[in-house]
Amino acid sequence: MTMALRLEPVQARAHEPTSYEEALADELEAIFGRGVHDLPGLVAALNETGVRPADGADWTEESFRAEIARLGAKEQTR
């Protein structure tokens, strides 16, 4: 008996993504699709988009790490 494997990326999601989260995810997917996989390149590419951190400033490596950590935090800590 063969079990079919399937990816369910939202299996741990506790809420529907916000429009900001969807926009950030779309931009990250596009950037990765262009072959950018290093943090400095990712930050530079994000700064070329209209998606900004909450304070509206340019992305930095520090602000990107902080935002990804915030978005990945358990629902109770949001």
Q: Kindly report the pTM of this predicted structure.
A: 0.75
> Are the CB atoms for 64 and 46 separated by under 8 Å?
yes
In the chain, helix, strand, coil percent, each to 5?
50, 0, 50
* H or E element, residue 47: helix 39-47
Query: What confidence tens digit (pLDDT) does each residue in 3-53 have?
Result: 666 665 655 667 788 999 999 999 999 999 999 999 999 999 999 999 998
Distance CA 32, CA 41 (A): 10
Rounded to the nearest angstrom, the gap between the alpha carbon of residue 41 and the centroid of all alpha carbons in its chain is 15
